[in-house]
A and B are shown apart, each in its own frame.
Chain A
Amino acid sequence: MSLTPIQAGAPVLDTAALGRLMPLYLWLGPDGRIRGAGATLGKLFPGTPLIGRELMDLFALQRPRNLDGVADLAAQAGTRIKLTQRAAPHTSFRGLAVPLTPADGIMLNLSFGIAISDAVREHRLTDSDFAPTDLAIEMLYLVEAKSAVLDELRDLNRRLGEAKAAAEQQALTDTLTGLDNRRALDRALAEAVRARRPFGLMHLDLDYFKAVNDTLGHAAGDHVLARVAAILGEETRTADRIARVGGDEFVVMLPGLTDPKAVERVAARILARLEAPIDYNGAPCRIAASIGITSTDFYPAPEPDRLLSDADRALYAAKRAGRGRVTVFDDGLAGDAPRSEAARPGAEA
Protein backbone atom coordinates (compact mmCIF):
# COMPACT_ATOMS: atom_id res chain seq x y z
CA MET A 1 0.00 0.00 0.00
CA SER A 2 1.26 3.47 -0.78
CA LEU A 3 0.78 6.90 0.59
CA THR A 4 -0.23 9.95 -1.37
CA PRO A 5 2.35 12.69 -1.68
CA ILE A 6 1.37 15.69 0.43
CA GLN A 7 2.44 17.92 -2.39
CA ALA A 8 3.49 17.15 -5.88
CA GLY A 9 7.05 15.94 -6.07
CA ALA A 10 7.33 15.08 -2.35
CA PRO A 11 9.00 11.73 -1.71
CA VAL A 12 6.68 8.83 -1.01
CA LEU A 13 7.64 5.59 0.66
CA ASP A 14 5.90 2.29 0.37
CA THR A 15 4.91 0.71 3.66
CA ALA A 16 7.66 -1.93 3.47
CA ALA A 17 10.36 0.74 3.33
CA LEU A 18 8.55 2.68 6.01
CA GLY A 19 8.56 -0.44 8.21
CA ARG A 20 12.31 -0.78 7.83
CA LEU A 21 12.86 2.83 8.82
CA MET A 22 10.33 2.74 11.65
CA PRO A 23 9.53 -0.81 12.83
CA LEU A 24 7.09 0.67 15.38
CA TYR A 25 5.03 2.87 13.03
CA LEU A 26 1.23 2.95 12.82
CA TRP A 27 -0.66 4.45 9.92
CA LEU A 28 -4.23 5.35 10.83
CA GLY A 29 -6.88 6.15 8.29
CA PRO A 30 -9.30 9.06 8.88
CA ASP A 31 -11.74 6.50 10.37
CA GLY A 32 -9.25 5.61 13.14
CA ARG A 33 -8.55 2.19 11.69
CA ILE A 34 -5.05 0.88 11.21
CA ARG A 35 -3.94 0.86 7.59
CA GLY A 36 -0.33 -0.07 8.15
CA ALA A 37 1.96 -1.15 11.01
CA GLY A 38 5.65 -1.88 11.44
CA ALA A 39 6.72 -5.50 11.83
CA THR A 40 7.87 -5.05 15.42
CA LEU A 41 4.49 -3.63 16.35
CA GLY A 42 2.89 -6.65 14.71
CA LYS A 43 5.05 -8.89 16.93
CA LEU A 44 3.46 -7.34 20.02
CA PHE A 45 0.03 -8.59 18.98
CA PRO A 46 0.72 -12.21 18.08
CA GLY A 47 -2.19 -13.84 16.28
CA THR A 48 -3.98 -10.50 15.84
CA PRO A 49 -3.82 -8.93 12.39
CA LEU A 50 -3.58 -5.20 12.99
CA ILE A 51 -4.80 -3.96 9.64
CA GLY A 52 -8.40 -2.81 9.85
CA ARG A 53 -8.48 -2.69 13.67
CA GLU A 54 -9.42 0.47 15.53
CA LEU A 55 -6.52 2.12 17.34
CA MET A 56 -8.58 2.69 20.48
CA ASP A 57 -9.53 -1.00 20.69
CA LEU A 58 -5.89 -1.99 20.96
CA PHE A 59 -4.42 0.94 22.85
CA ALA A 60 -5.44 3.21 25.68
CA LEU A 61 -4.36 6.79 25.11
CA GLN A 62 -2.77 8.35 28.20
CA ARG A 63 -1.61 11.57 26.69
CA PRO A 64 -3.14 13.73 25.43
CA ARG A 65 -6.24 12.76 27.40
CA ASN A 66 -9.90 13.22 26.51
CA LEU A 67 -9.51 12.66 22.82
CA ASP A 68 -12.48 11.29 21.01
CA GLY A 69 -10.83 9.89 18.00
CA VAL A 70 -8.23 10.04 15.36
CA ALA A 71 -9.51 13.36 14.04
CA ASP A 72 -8.69 14.87 17.43
CA LEU A 73 -5.29 13.21 17.34
CA ALA A 74 -4.64 14.76 13.95
CA ALA A 75 -5.50 18.14 15.43
CA GLN A 76 -2.89 17.50 18.14
CA ALA A 77 -0.24 16.79 15.56
CA GLY A 78 3.25 17.45 16.79
CA THR A 79 2.52 16.85 20.48
CA ARG A 80 3.94 13.88 22.29
CA ILE A 81 1.59 11.01 22.77
CA LYS A 82 1.59 8.20 25.26
CA LEU A 83 -0.19 4.91 24.64
CA THR A 84 -0.56 1.68 26.55
CA GLN A 85 -1.35 -1.70 25.07
CA ARG A 86 -4.82 -2.66 26.37
CA ALA A 87 -3.98 -6.37 26.56
CA ALA A 88 -1.31 -7.86 28.81
CA PRO A 89 1.56 -7.14 29.27
CA HIS A 90 0.26 -3.57 28.87
CA THR A 91 3.44 -2.32 27.25
CA SER A 92 3.57 1.44 27.13
CA PHE A 93 4.80 3.55 24.25
CA ARG A 94 5.58 7.11 23.59
CA GLY A 95 5.55 8.67 20.20
CA LEU A 96 4.57 11.37 17.82
CA ALA A 97 1.64 11.75 15.41
CA VAL A 98 1.89 13.72 12.19
CA PRO A 99 -1.00 14.40 9.82
CA LEU A 100 -1.02 13.08 6.26
CA THR A 101 -3.40 14.25 3.56
CA PRO A 102 -7.01 14.32 4.85
CA ALA A 103 -7.69 11.17 2.85
CA ASP A 104 -4.72 9.29 4.30
CA GLY A 105 -5.22 10.14 8.00
CA ILE A 106 -2.22 10.30 10.32
CA MET A 107 1.10 8.63 10.87
CA LEU A 108 2.29 7.57 14.33
CA ASN A 109 5.83 6.59 15.20
CA LEU A 110 6.23 4.84 18.53
CA SER A 111 9.07 3.92 20.85
CA PHE A 112 9.28 1.92 24.07
CA GLY A 113 10.90 4.75 25.96
CA ILE A 114 12.06 3.91 29.43
CA ALA A 115 10.15 0.60 29.46
CA ILE A 116 12.52 -0.82 26.85
CA SER A 117 13.98 -3.59 29.04
CA ASP A 118 10.57 -4.94 30.02
CA ALA A 119 9.28 -4.73 26.46
CA VAL A 120 12.26 -6.60 25.05
CA ARG A 121 11.88 -9.34 27.66
CA GLU A 122 8.11 -9.66 27.47
CA HIS A 123 7.90 -9.66 23.69
CA ARG A 124 11.17 -11.54 23.11
CA LEU A 125 12.46 -8.88 20.77
CA THR A 126 15.79 -9.17 19.00
CA ASP A 127 18.29 -6.86 17.43
CA SER A 128 16.50 -7.06 14.07
CA ASP A 129 13.29 -5.71 15.64
CA PHE A 130 14.92 -2.32 15.99
CA ALA A 131 15.99 0.15 13.36
CA PRO A 132 19.78 0.51 13.16
CA THR A 133 19.31 4.17 14.12
CA ASP A 134 17.47 3.20 17.29
CA LEU A 135 19.58 3.39 20.44
CA ALA A 136 17.52 0.61 22.05
CA ILE A 137 20.37 -1.89 21.91
CA GLU A 138 22.79 0.65 23.38
CA MET A 139 20.23 1.30 26.09
CA LEU A 140 20.03 -2.40 26.92
CA TYR A 141 23.82 -2.59 26.84
CA LEU A 142 23.99 0.29 29.31
CA VAL A 143 21.44 -1.29 31.62
CA GLU A 144 23.49 -4.47 31.79
CA ALA A 145 26.80 -2.64 32.05
CA LYS A 146 25.40 -0.57 34.90
CA SER A 147 24.19 -3.70 36.72
CA ALA A 148 27.56 -5.38 36.28
CA VAL A 149 29.40 -2.32 37.60
CA LEU A 150 26.95 -1.94 40.48
CA ASP A 151 27.52 -5.58 41.41
CA GLU A 152 31.24 -4.94 41.48
CA LEU A 153 30.79 -1.83 43.60
CA ARG A 154 28.48 -3.68 45.97
CA ASP A 155 31.15 -6.36 46.38
CA LEU A 156 33.77 -3.69 46.89
CA ASN A 157 31.68 -2.02 49.60
CA ARG A 158 31.12 -5.34 51.31
CA ARG A 159 34.83 -6.13 51.30
CA LEU A 160 35.69 -2.63 52.53
CA GLY A 161 33.13 -2.99 55.31
CA GLU A 162 34.67 -6.28 56.37
CA ALA A 163 38.17 -4.82 56.21
CA LYS A 164 37.06 -1.87 58.36
CA ALA A 165 35.56 -4.20 60.95
CA ALA A 166 38.74 -6.29 60.94
CA ALA A 167 40.90 -3.18 61.27
CA GLU A 168 38.85 -1.97 64.25
CA GLN A 169 39.16 -5.43 65.74
CA GLN A 170 42.94 -5.27 65.35
CA ALA A 171 43.32 -1.62 66.35
CA LEU A 172 46.11 -0.95 68.81
CA THR A 173 45.25 2.61 69.71
CA ASP A 174 42.86 4.04 72.26
CA THR A 175 40.88 6.45 70.12
CA LEU A 176 40.17 8.98 72.89
CA THR A 177 43.73 9.51 74.13
CA GLY A 178 45.83 8.21 71.23
CA LEU A 179 47.64 5.98 73.72
CA ASP A 180 48.13 2.24 73.25
CA ASN A 181 45.11 0.13 74.09
CA ARG A 182 45.03 -3.04 76.11
CA ARG A 183 45.78 -5.21 73.06
CA ALA A 184 48.89 -3.18 72.20
CA LEU A 185 50.06 -3.34 75.81
CA ASP A 186 49.64 -7.11 75.93
CA ARG A 187 51.70 -7.41 72.76
CA ALA A 188 54.46 -5.16 74.06
CA LEU A 189 54.63 -7.03 77.38
CA ALA A 190 54.68 -10.44 75.71
CA GLU A 191 57.35 -9.29 73.28
CA ALA A 192 59.59 -7.90 76.04
CA VAL A 193 59.22 -11.00 78.20
CA ARG A 194 59.94 -13.30 75.28
CA ALA A 195 63.05 -11.29 74.36
CA ARG A 196 64.09 -11.22 78.06
CA ARG A 197 64.14 -7.43 78.08
CA PRO A 198 63.68 -6.16 81.64
CA PHE A 199 61.23 -3.37 82.45
CA GLY A 200 59.44 -1.60 85.25
CA LEU A 201 55.65 -1.50 85.28
CA MET A 202 53.35 1.17 86.67
CA HIS A 203 49.61 0.81 87.08
CA LEU A 204 47.81 4.13 87.58
CA ASP A 205 44.19 4.69 88.54
CA LEU A 206 42.59 8.12 88.74
CA ASP A 207 40.89 9.17 91.97
CA TYR A 208 37.75 11.35 91.92
CA PHE A 209 37.39 10.88 88.19
CA LYS A 210 33.80 9.70 88.56
CA ALA A 211 32.97 12.95 90.33
CA VAL A 212 34.22 14.95 87.32
CA ASN A 213 32.09 12.86 85.00
CA ASP A 214 29.04 13.13 87.23
CA THR A 215 29.20 16.85 87.89
CA LEU A 216 30.67 18.28 84.67
CA GLY A 217 29.63 15.64 82.18
CA HIS A 218 31.37 13.14 79.94
CA ALA A 219 32.94 15.80 77.73
CA ALA A 220 34.79 17.09 80.80
CA GLY A 221 35.75 13.52 81.70
CA ASP A 222 37.11 12.97 78.18
CA HIS A 223 39.05 16.22 78.41
CA VAL A 224 40.60 15.12 81.72
CA LEU A 225 41.60 11.73 80.28
CA ALA A 226 43.27 13.41 77.31
CA ARG A 227 45.11 15.78 79.67
CA VAL A 228 46.26 12.88 81.86
CA ALA A 229 47.51 11.09 78.75
CA ALA A 230 49.50 14.20 77.81
CA ILE A 231 51.01 14.48 81.31
CA LEU A 232 51.98 10.79 81.25
CA GLY A 233 53.70 11.40 77.93
CA GLU A 234 55.56 14.43 79.25
CA GLU A 235 56.76 12.68 82.41
CA THR A 236 58.03 9.50 80.72
CA ARG A 237 60.67 8.73 78.11
CA THR A 238 59.98 8.25 74.42
CA ALA A 239 60.69 4.53 74.68
CA ASP A 240 58.17 4.03 77.51
CA ARG A 241 54.84 2.53 76.49
CA ILE A 242 51.71 4.14 77.89
CA ALA A 243 48.41 2.32 77.58
CA ARG A 244 44.89 3.20 78.64
CA VAL A 245 43.54 -0.11 79.84
CA GLY A 246 40.21 0.89 81.35
CA GLY A 247 37.92 3.88 81.83
CA ASP A 248 40.36 5.79 84.05
CA GLU A 249 43.20 3.27 84.33
CA PHE A 250 46.58 3.51 82.69
CA VAL A 251 49.59 1.21 82.55
CA VAL A 252 53.09 2.48 81.83
CA MET A 253 55.80 0.05 80.78
CA LEU A 254 59.32 1.40 81.30
CA PRO A 255 61.93 -0.63 79.38
CA GLY A 256 65.22 -0.96 81.24
CA LEU A 257 63.94 0.92 84.29
CA THR A 258 63.78 -1.98 86.74
CA ASP A 259 64.96 -0.24 89.91
CA PRO A 260 61.75 0.34 91.90
CA LYS A 261 63.24 3.52 93.40
CA ALA A 262 63.69 4.98 89.92
CA VAL A 263 60.17 4.01 88.91
CA GLU A 264 58.85 5.52 92.13
CA ARG A 265 60.51 8.83 91.25
CA VAL A 266 58.74 8.88 87.89
CA ALA A 267 55.46 7.99 89.62
CA ALA A 268 55.90 10.77 92.16
CA ARG A 269 56.45 13.31 89.38
CA ILE A 270 53.25 12.16 87.70
CA LEU A 271 51.24 12.39 90.92
CA ALA A 272 52.54 15.89 91.57
CA ARG A 273 51.49 17.00 88.09
CA LEU A 274 48.04 15.48 88.54
CA GLU A 275 47.43 17.34 91.78
CA ALA A 276 47.06 20.60 89.87
CA PRO A 277 43.44 21.11 88.79
CA ILE A 278 42.77 20.56 85.09
CA ASP A 279 40.89 23.42 83.51
CA TYR A 280 37.78 22.54 81.51
CA ASN A 281 36.12 25.58 79.94
CA GLY A 282 36.94 27.61 83.03
CA ALA A 283 35.86 24.90 85.49
CA PRO A 284 38.69 23.35 87.53
CA CYS A 285 38.58 19.54 87.51
CA ARG A 286 40.26 18.21 90.60
CA ILE A 287 41.53 14.68 90.39
CA ALA A 288 44.38 12.69 91.84
CA ALA A 289 45.85 9.29 91.15
CA SER A 290 47.17 6.20 92.88
CA ILE A 291 49.98 4.15 91.43
CA GLY A 292 51.15 0.55 91.95
CA ILE A 293 54.59 -0.51 90.76
CA THR A 294 56.35 -3.75 89.98
CA SER A 295 59.45 -4.77 88.02
CA THR A 296 60.70 -7.78 86.10
CA ASP A 297 63.62 -7.86 88.58
CA PHE A 298 61.21 -9.22 91.20
CA TYR A 299 60.65 -12.49 89.32
CA PRO A 300 62.91 -15.36 88.32
CA ALA A 301 60.68 -15.94 85.27
CA PRO A 302 58.54 -12.85 84.63
CA GLU A 303 55.09 -13.38 83.11
CA PRO A 304 53.00 -10.50 81.78
CA ASP A 305 49.81 -11.57 83.59
CA ARG A 306 51.65 -11.94 86.88
CA LEU A 307 53.29 -8.54 86.56
CA LEU A 308 49.98 -6.89 85.71
CA SER A 309 48.14 -8.43 88.63
CA ASP A 310 50.98 -7.62 91.06
CA ALA A 311 51.05 -3.99 89.89
CA ASP A 312 47.29 -4.01 90.41
CA ARG A 313 47.67 -5.38 93.96
CA ALA A 314 50.22 -2.65 94.70
CA LEU A 315 47.80 -0.06 93.30
CA TYR A 316 45.05 -1.41 95.54
CA ALA A 317 47.37 -1.14 98.54
CA ALA A 318 48.14 2.47 97.57
CA LYS A 319 44.42 3.27 97.45
CA ARG A 320 43.86 1.66 100.85
CA ALA A 321 46.69 3.70 102.32
CA GLY A 322 44.94 6.91 101.28
CA ARG A 323 44.72 8.40 97.81
CA GLY A 324 47.48 10.08 95.86
CA ARG A 325 50.10 7.51 96.82
CA VAL A 326 52.62 5.19 95.22
CA THR A 327 53.15 1.61 96.38
CA VAL A 328 55.81 -0.81 95.18
CA PHE A 329 54.78 -4.44 95.09
CA ASP A 330 56.42 -6.76 97.58
CA ASP A 331 55.80 -10.33 98.61
CA GLY A 332 53.77 -9.12 101.57
CA LEU A 333 51.08 -8.03 99.12
CA ALA A 334 51.16 -11.32 97.22
CA GLY A 335 48.45 -12.80 99.45
CA ASP A 336 46.10 -9.86 98.88
CA ALA A 337 43.20 -10.60 96.63
CA PRO A 338 43.40 -8.55 93.47
CA ARG A 339 40.71 -5.93 93.18
CA SER A 340 37.26 -6.93 92.09
CA GLU A 341 36.97 -8.24 88.54
CA ALA A 342 35.20 -5.09 87.44
CA ALA A 343 38.25 -3.03 88.36
CA ARG A 344 40.75 -5.36 86.67
CA PRO A 345 42.58 -3.93 83.72
CA GLY A 346 40.82 -4.67 80.51
CA ALA A 347 37.53 -5.49 82.15
CA GLU A 348 36.16 -2.04 81.36
CA ALA A 349 36.58 0.27 78.39
Chain B
Amino acid sequence: MHGLINRAVQCFLRDTYGADLWRAVAERAGVGADGFEAMLLYDDAVTDVLLDAAAARLDRPVEAILEDLGTYLVSHPNLEPLRRLLRFGGVGFVDFLHSLDDLPGRGRLAVPDLDLPQLELHEEEAGRFALLCRADHPGFAHVMSGVLRAMADDYGALVLLEHETLDSGVARIGIHLLDQSFAAGRSFELAAMPVRA
Protein backbone atom coordinates (compact mmCIF):
# COMPACT_ATOMS: atom_id res chain seq x y z
CA MET B 1 0.00 0.00 0.00
CA HIS B 2 1.24 3.46 -0.76
CA GLY B 3 2.64 5.26 2.26
CA LEU B 4 0.33 8.20 1.54
CA ILE B 5 -2.62 6.03 2.47
CA ASN B 6 -1.12 4.61 5.64
CA ARG B 7 0.11 8.06 6.55
CA ALA B 8 -3.42 9.43 6.01
CA VAL B 9 -4.81 6.87 8.46
CA GLN B 10 -2.10 7.80 10.93
CA CYS B 11 -2.69 11.56 10.68
CA PHE B 12 -6.46 11.06 10.87
CA LEU B 13 -6.18 9.07 14.10
CA ARG B 14 -3.68 11.52 15.57
CA ASP B 15 -5.52 14.70 14.58
CA THR B 16 -8.97 13.37 15.47
CA TYR B 17 -8.35 11.34 18.62
CA GLY B 18 -5.00 12.62 19.86
CA ALA B 19 -1.39 11.45 19.92
CA ASP B 20 -1.97 9.04 22.82
CA LEU B 21 -4.60 7.13 20.90
CA TRP B 22 -2.35 6.97 17.84
CA ARG B 23 0.47 5.53 19.96
CA ALA B 24 -1.88 2.96 21.47
CA VAL B 25 -3.14 1.89 18.03
CA ALA B 26 0.40 1.83 16.61
CA GLU B 27 1.56 -0.37 19.46
CA ARG B 28 -1.42 -2.67 19.05
CA ALA B 29 -0.69 -2.91 15.32
CA GLY B 30 3.01 -3.50 15.87
CA VAL B 31 3.91 -0.29 14.04
CA GLY B 32 6.53 2.10 15.41
CA ALA B 33 5.11 5.25 17.02
CA ASP B 34 6.73 7.31 14.23
CA GLY B 35 4.34 5.54 11.91
CA PHE B 36 4.55 5.76 8.16
CA GLU B 37 6.38 7.83 5.59
CA ALA B 38 4.09 9.24 2.93
CA MET B 39 6.50 8.64 0.06
CA LEU B 40 7.46 5.04 0.80
CA LEU B 41 5.62 1.84 -0.05
CA TYR B 42 4.40 -0.67 2.54
CA ASP B 43 3.07 -4.18 2.54
CA ASP B 44 -0.71 -4.21 1.94
CA ALA B 45 -1.36 -6.27 5.06
CA VAL B 46 0.00 -3.51 7.30
CA THR B 47 -2.93 -1.24 6.43
CA ASP B 48 -5.51 -3.82 7.49
CA VAL B 49 -3.69 -4.61 10.70
CA LEU B 50 -3.61 -0.89 11.44
CA LEU B 51 -7.31 -0.40 10.68
CA ASP B 52 -8.31 -3.43 12.76
CA ALA B 53 -6.26 -2.10 15.66
CA ALA B 54 -7.97 1.28 15.38
CA ALA B 55 -11.41 -0.34 15.20
CA ALA B 56 -10.69 -2.41 18.29
CA ARG B 57 -9.29 0.52 20.23
CA LEU B 58 -12.11 2.91 19.25
CA ASP B 59 -14.77 0.19 19.45
CA ARG B 60 -16.13 1.30 16.06
CA PRO B 61 -16.53 -0.61 12.79
CA VAL B 62 -13.70 -0.17 10.28
CA GLU B 63 -16.23 1.12 7.71
CA ALA B 64 -17.25 4.01 9.95
CA ILE B 65 -13.63 4.89 10.66
CA LEU B 66 -12.86 4.91 6.93
CA GLU B 67 -15.79 7.17 6.16
CA ASP B 68 -14.62 9.62 8.82
CA LEU B 69 -11.15 9.39 7.30
CA GLY B 70 -12.62 10.46 3.94
CA THR B 71 -14.30 13.45 5.57
CA TYR B 72 -11.10 14.33 7.39
CA LEU B 73 -9.09 14.29 4.14
CA VAL B 74 -11.23 17.09 2.74
CA SER B 75 -12.09 19.12 5.80
CA HIS B 76 -9.06 19.17 8.09
CA PRO B 77 -6.96 22.36 7.84
CA ASN B 78 -3.75 20.28 7.72
CA LEU B 79 -4.93 18.82 4.42
CA GLU B 80 -5.90 22.05 2.69
CA PRO B 81 -3.57 21.21 -0.25
CA LEU B 82 -5.52 18.00 -0.86
CA ARG B 83 -8.87 19.79 -0.70
CA ARG B 84 -7.56 22.23 -3.28
CA LEU B 85 -6.40 19.42 -5.56
CA LEU B 86 -9.88 17.90 -5.39
CA ARG B 87 -11.53 21.27 -6.04
CA PHE B 88 -9.58 21.54 -9.29
CA GLY B 89 -11.95 18.80 -10.45
CA GLY B 90 -14.80 21.18 -11.18
CA VAL B 91 -16.50 24.50 -10.65
CA GLY B 92 -19.61 22.93 -9.11
CA PHE B 93 -20.40 19.69 -7.31
CA VAL B 94 -21.78 18.01 -10.45
CA ASP B 95 -18.60 18.94 -12.36
CA PHE B 96 -16.66 17.51 -9.48
CA LEU B 97 -18.64 14.25 -9.61
CA HIS B 98 -17.86 13.92 -13.32
CA SER B 99 -14.18 14.56 -12.65
CA LEU B 100 -14.04 11.46 -10.43
CA ASP B 101 -13.70 9.27 -13.53
CA ASP B 102 -10.28 10.89 -13.91
CA LEU B 103 -9.29 10.52 -10.26
CA PRO B 104 -6.78 7.68 -10.75
CA GLY B 105 -5.17 9.67 -13.59
CA ARG B 106 -5.05 12.83 -11.51
CA GLY B 107 -3.58 10.87 -8.63
CA ARG B 108 -0.87 9.47 -10.88
CA LEU B 109 -0.08 12.96 -12.22
CA ALA B 110 0.71 14.02 -8.67
CA VAL B 111 2.33 10.81 -7.41
CA PRO B 112 3.22 8.37 -10.21
CA ASP B 113 3.11 5.22 -8.08
CA LEU B 114 -0.16 6.07 -6.33
CA ASP B 115 -2.71 3.47 -7.39
CA LEU B 116 -6.18 4.87 -6.78
CA PRO B 117 -9.24 2.76 -7.53
CA GLN B 118 -11.09 3.06 -10.81
CA LEU B 119 -14.23 5.17 -10.37
CA GLU B 120 -17.16 5.35 -12.74
CA LEU B 121 -19.94 7.92 -12.48
CA HIS B 122 -23.36 7.15 -13.90
CA GLU B 123 -26.07 9.78 -14.08
CA GLU B 124 -29.16 7.64 -13.60
CA GLU B 125 -31.76 10.39 -13.71
CA ALA B 126 -31.78 14.10 -13.02
CA GLY B 127 -30.09 14.67 -9.68
CA ARG B 128 -29.41 10.98 -9.09
CA PHE B 129 -25.96 9.54 -9.66
CA ALA B 130 -24.21 6.28 -8.92
CA LEU B 131 -20.51 6.10 -8.35
CA LEU B 132 -19.09 2.63 -8.97
CA CYS B 133 -15.86 1.96 -7.18
CA ARG B 134 -13.73 -0.95 -8.40
CA ALA B 135 -11.06 -1.17 -5.75
CA ASP B 136 -8.81 -4.02 -4.71
CA HIS B 137 -9.57 -3.03 -1.16
CA PRO B 138 -13.24 -2.72 -0.15
CA GLY B 139 -12.31 0.06 2.27
CA PHE B 140 -11.71 2.57 -0.52
CA ALA B 141 -15.41 2.96 -1.24
CA HIS B 142 -16.07 3.90 2.39
CA VAL B 143 -13.34 6.51 2.25
CA MET B 144 -14.93 7.81 -0.98
CA SER B 145 -18.30 8.14 0.80
CA GLY B 146 -16.65 10.37 3.38
CA VAL B 147 -14.86 12.34 0.69
CA LEU B 148 -18.11 12.86 -1.24
CA ARG B 149 -19.97 14.00 1.87
CA ALA B 150 -17.26 16.52 2.74
CA MET B 151 -16.87 17.73 -0.85
CA ALA B 152 -20.63 18.31 -1.07
CA ASP B 153 -20.31 20.53 2.01
CA ASP B 154 -17.30 22.21 0.46
CA TYR B 155 -19.29 23.11 -2.66
CA GLY B 156 -22.36 23.98 -0.62
CA ALA B 157 -24.40 21.14 -2.14
CA LEU B 158 -27.01 19.10 -0.28
CA VAL B 159 -26.73 15.37 -0.99
CA LEU B 160 -27.93 12.04 0.34
CA LEU B 161 -25.53 9.12 0.01
CA GLU B 162 -26.13 5.41 0.24
CA HIS B 163 -23.49 2.75 0.16
CA GLU B 164 -24.00 -0.78 -1.09
CA THR B 165 -21.90 -3.63 -2.40
CA LEU B 166 -23.15 -5.14 -5.65
CA ASP B 167 -23.14 -8.88 -6.31
CA SER B 168 -20.12 -8.36 -8.57
CA GLY B 169 -18.20 -7.11 -5.54
CA VAL B 170 -18.15 -3.59 -6.95
CA ALA B 171 -19.10 -0.94 -4.41
CA ARG B 172 -21.88 1.44 -5.44
CA ILE B 173 -22.40 4.81 -3.84
CA GLY B 174 -25.80 6.24 -4.66
CA ILE B 175 -25.73 10.04 -4.73
CA HIS B 176 -28.99 11.96 -4.54
CA LEU B 177 -28.30 15.62 -5.22
CA LEU B 178 -31.10 17.56 -3.55
CA ASP B 179 -29.72 21.03 -4.07
CA GLN B 180 -26.50 21.99 -5.80
CA SER B 181 -26.34 25.42 -4.16
CA PHE B 182 -27.90 24.74 -0.78
CA ALA B 183 -25.25 26.70 1.13
CA ALA B 184 -22.46 29.08 0.23
CA GLY B 185 -19.77 26.42 0.47
CA ARG B 186 -16.12 27.19 0.96
CA SER B 187 -14.27 29.52 -1.35
CA PHE B 188 -11.83 28.27 -3.92
CA GLU B 189 -9.56 30.52 -5.91
CA LEU B 190 -7.46 28.95 -8.60
CA ALA B 191 -4.34 30.79 -7.59
CA ALA B 192 -4.65 30.89 -3.80
CA MET B 193 -1.42 29.71 -2.30
CA PRO B 194 -1.88 26.34 -0.64
CA VAL B 195 -1.43 26.25 3.12
CA ARG B 196 1.55 24.15 4.01
CA ALA B 197 0.55 20.94 5.78
Stretch at the interface among A119-127, A232-240, A266-274, A312-320: A119-127
**Could you tell me which residues of chain B, from 144 to 197, have a CB within 8 Å of some CB in chain A?**
189-191, 194, 196-197
In the assembled complex, which residues on chain B have CB atoms less than 8 Å from the CB atom of A280? Answer: none
Q: How far is the CA of A128 from the CA of B194 in the complex (A)?
A: 21
Cβ-defined contact, B194 with A144, below 8 A: yes
Q: Across the interface, name the chain B residue whose C-beta is closest to A126.
A: B190
Could you say which of B84, B85, B106, B191 contacts A125, with CB atoms under 8 Å apart?
Answer: B191
| In the assembled complex, A3 has its CB within 8 A of some CB on chain B | no
Interface string of B79-94 (1 = CB under 8 A from A): 0011011001011000
Query: Which B residue sits closest to A120, measured CB to CB?
Result: B191
Check if B126 is an interface residue, CB within 8 A of chain A. no
Interface centre among B38, B106, B191 (most CB of A within 10 A): B191
Q: How far is the CA of A138 from the CA of B190 in the complex (A)?
A: 11
Expressed in whole angstroms, the minimum distance between the Cβ of B93 and any Cβ of chain A is: 14
- Residue A148 at the chain B interface, CB threshold 8 Å: yes
CB of A141 closer than 8 Å to a CB of B: yes
- Interface extent on B, as a size class? 20 to 34
- Is B39 on the interface with A (CB-CB < 8 A)? yes
Do the beta carbons of B37 and A137 come within 8 Å of each other?
A: no
The docked-state distance in angstroms from the alpha carbon of A283 to that of B197 is: 60
State in angstroms the CA–CA spacing of A71 and B131 once bound together. 55
**List of 10 A-B pairs having minimum Cβ-Cβ separation, nearest first:** A145-B110, A121-B191, A148-B81, A120-B191, A141-B88, A152-B38, A127-B91, A120-B190, A156-B39, A156-B37
B window 33-78: CB within 8 A of A:
34, 37-40
B88 touches A137 (CB 8 A): yes
Interface residue A190 (Cβ < 8 Å from any Cβ of B): no
Closest partner residue, chain B, to A152 (CB atom): B38
A144 engages B197 (CB within 8 Å): no
Instruction: Closest A residue to B4 by CB, please name it.
Output: A152
Contacts of B106 in A (CB 8 A): 141
B1 touches A (CB below 8 Å): no
Proximity bits, A110-123, B CB within 8 Å = 1, else 0: 00000001001100
Task: Give complex CA distance A121, B189 in Å.
Answer: 9
B111 contacts A149, C-beta separation under 8 Å: yes
Minimum distance in angstroms from B110 CB to a CB of chain A: 3
